[in-house]
């Protein structure tokens, strides 16, 4: 059995890659061979286990608008680059001869990569199962034509859409208005969570305020807001640990590092992050899928500050949905108002973690089981 070919393209953040890595490890544990095809730079601490990992020429978004894509040399991609990528992807698929295609996000997103994905889907349509792996929140499309295109693409090429969420918490129809037209294709898996190893342990972060911005290039505003707010906090004398993404520009990293002062440090993304969260006195973070799942899994006091730059509305929508039942604490105020931000931090530090009915976080294992049944 050749197993699964998983296609993942990350452009700004790395949440797509981290979530996919959890699914891949679950598939490997279930003895399903997996080959991962990545269209971005390698992501530190993304553990794909024993899976094979192949890289296409990397692409990333120039900024939060996602309008301009840059290659590895920071040049806008062109037709020659697209042709090279398409040929490489098709050659990889021909070599692997997969039993199932698992496509992350597309066609709900990554429309800029139709040039290589449509030929791949055409080549395998009707021969093997083709499955979309989608997060719980879809960034809405304003034009009906674009939503029609998504539905048509799903009906033409895909057998199922695995939604990594819980329908009762955030139904796909809450952010994708045409969900009713594809309801027979939707399968909710539960949330995909990075599961800590029972035998592993770390004392890092004990009693600290831990500020994290994910593994991507965003988060500058939150980091700067924290540096400004700390002197106004009741907890200013505690240790504050800032964890930046590896994609944060080095010049910005150094500038923030120089502003930290005594009792505050900044470092890059770390592999033991889930254990740091379990130890901390308070987690302050952006509201990406993986970060909120890590907070839920760790059961720590928290304050979620959702990213809302460019066209991104995903983090705000999810954070509000999770804040409504009291699962998380939400701050969507002004990060440039240090006094207001500090008051919100102090309030969050006093609120015990949510201890009510658990959220279904078996998404990786359920996804592996569903894919096994399709093979």
pLDDT tens, residue by residue, 291-339: 899 898 888 999 999 986 655 678 899 999 999 989 999 999 999 999 9
Residue 265 dihedral angles phi and psi, to the nearest 5°: -130, 160
Taking phi over 0 as left and psi of -120 to 50 as alpha, with beta for the rest, 106 belongs to: beta
pLDDT for residue 67: 78
* Domains of the chain, CATH where assigned: 4-191+361-374 (3.40.50.2000), 209-350 (3.40.50.2000)
Residue 80 has pLDDT above 80, yes or no: yes
Residue 142 has pLDDT above 80, yes or no: no
Q: Helix or strand or coil: residue 100? A: strand
pLDDT for residue 178: 95
Take residue 326 and report the two structure tokens written for it: 């009291």
pLDDT tens, residue by residue, 193-243: 877 665 556 788 899 999 998 765 668 899 999 999 999 999 999 999 999
Q: Looking at residues 353-373, what average pLDDT do you find?
A: 88
Q: Looking at residues 9-13, what average pLDDT do you find?
A: 81
pLDDT for residue 68: 83
- Lowest mean pLDDT segment, chosen from 240-244, 269-273, 278-282: 269-273
Q: Round the average pLDDT of the chain to a whole number and report it.
A: 90
Q: Looking at residues 108-127, what average pLDDT do you find?
A: 96
CA of 32: how far to CAs of 148, 159, 200, 247, 374, in Å? 34, 19, 25, 32, 12
Place of tokens 């309030």: 347
- Lowest mean pLDDT segment, chosen from 139-148, 192-201, 242-251: 192-201
**Whole-number Å distance between alpha carbons of 228 and 183:** 47
CB 223 within 8 A of CB 244: yes
pLDDT tens, residue by residue, 156-183: 999 999 999 999 999 999 999 999 999 9
pLDDT for residue 65: 65
Residues ≥6 apart with Cβ < 8 Å to 24: 6, 34, 36, 48, 49, 51
């Amino acid at each position: 059995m050749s197993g699964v070919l998983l296609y993942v393209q990350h452009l700004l953040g790395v949440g797509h890659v981290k979530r996919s890595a959890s699914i891949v490890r679950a598939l490997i544990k279930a003895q399903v061979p997996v080959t991962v095809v990545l269209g971005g730079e390698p992501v530190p601490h993304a553990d794909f286990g024993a899976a094979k990992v192949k890289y296409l020429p990397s692409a990333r978004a120039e900024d939060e608008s996602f309008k301009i894509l840059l290659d590895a040399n920071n040049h806008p991609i062109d037709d020659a680059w697209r042709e090279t990528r398409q040929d490489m992807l098709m050659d990889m698929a021909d070599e692997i001869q997969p039993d199932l295609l698992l496509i992350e996000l597309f066609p709900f997103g990554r429309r800029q990569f139709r040039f290589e994905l449509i030929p791949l889907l055409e080549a395998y349509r009707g021969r093997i199962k083709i499955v979309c792996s989608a997060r719980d929140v879809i960034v809405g499309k304003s034009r009906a034509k674009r939503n029609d295109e998504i539905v048509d693409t799903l009906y033409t090429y895909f057998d199922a859409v695995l939604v990594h969420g819980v329908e009762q918490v955030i139904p796909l129809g809450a952010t994708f208005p045409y969900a009713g037209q594809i309801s027979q294709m939707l399968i909710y898996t539960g949330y995909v969570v990075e599961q800590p190893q029972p035998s592993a342990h770390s004392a890092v972060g004990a009693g600290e305020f831990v500020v994290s911005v994910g593994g991507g290039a965003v988060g500058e505003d939150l980091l700067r807001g924290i540096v400004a707010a700390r002197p106004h906090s009741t907890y200013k004398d505690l240790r504050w640990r800032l964890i930046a993404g590896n994609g944060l520009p080095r010049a910005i990293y150094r500038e923030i590092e120089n502003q930290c002062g005594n009792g505050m440090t900044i470092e890059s993304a770390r592999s033991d992050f889930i254990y740091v969260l379990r130890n901390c006195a308070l987690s302050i973070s952006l509201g990406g899928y993986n970060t909120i799942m890590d907070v839920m899994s760790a059961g720590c006091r928290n304050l979620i500050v959702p990213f809302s730059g460019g066209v991104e509305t995903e983090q705000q929508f999810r954070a509000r949905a999770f804040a409504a039942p009291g699962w998380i604490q939400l701050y969507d105020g002004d990060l440039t108002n240090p006094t207001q931000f500090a008051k919100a931090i102090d309030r969050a530090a006093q609120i015990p973690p949510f201890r009510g009915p658990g959220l279904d976080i078996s998404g990786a294992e359920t996804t592996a089981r569903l894919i096994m049944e399709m093979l």
